Amino acid sequence: MIETVVIATDGSESVERAVDVALDLARRFDATVHALYVVDESEVDSSPEAVEADMREALEESGEEALDDVRERTDSGVRTVVRNGRPAAEVCGYARENDVDLVATGTRGRHGENRFLIGSVAERVVRSCPTPVLTVRQLQET
């Protein structure tokens, strides 16, 4: 039985289908939905010191937009969370801490096609998450 679904989102177009599939699944099981966005600290840390604060703020704003998008796609309540750290570790930690039944994510994130087969964050989540992970591939537009 699926009672709690976490949707890991980065707000990219490639995650849109994962959000739709996860929300449909949650609706079918009447599950609670958590939407999670992680501010990638490695992106902030690799920025020049003069723009670190601006980078963090931009990533946080992106996160709020991504979470708003999830909220807008459903008529039931969604718990939204922004965390800071390494995305895969934070997603897995959140799943563990909240005893979730399923984590849903896209296979490619903001960095897109530069990854082979599956995005590096999605791959790390699949390999290390203590709960089942549903990865959803974005279909090609025809």
Closest C-alpha among 73, 67, 76 to residue 27: 76
Q: What is the pTM of this model?
A: 0.86
Closest C-alpha among 59, 58, 49, 57 to residue 90: 59
- Helices (DSSP H) in 30-129: which residue ranges? 41-45, 52-72, 87-97, 120-128
Per-residue pLDDT of the chain (142 residues; tens, 9 = 90+): 899 999 999 988 878 999 999 999 999 999 999 999 999 887 777 778 888 888 888 889 999 999 999 999 988 889 999 999 999 999 999 999 999 999 999 986 554 444 444 468 899 999 999 999 999 987 765 4
Query: What is the per-residue pLDDT for 63?
Result: 93
Query: What is the per-residue pLDDT for 13?
Result: 83
In angstroms, the CA 44 to CA 78 distance is 27
Query: What is the per-residue pLDDT for 114?
Result: 41
C-alpha distance across the termini of the chain, in Å? 36
Query: What is the per-residue pLDDT for 52?
Result: 81
Domains observed in the chain? 4-136 (3.40.50.620)
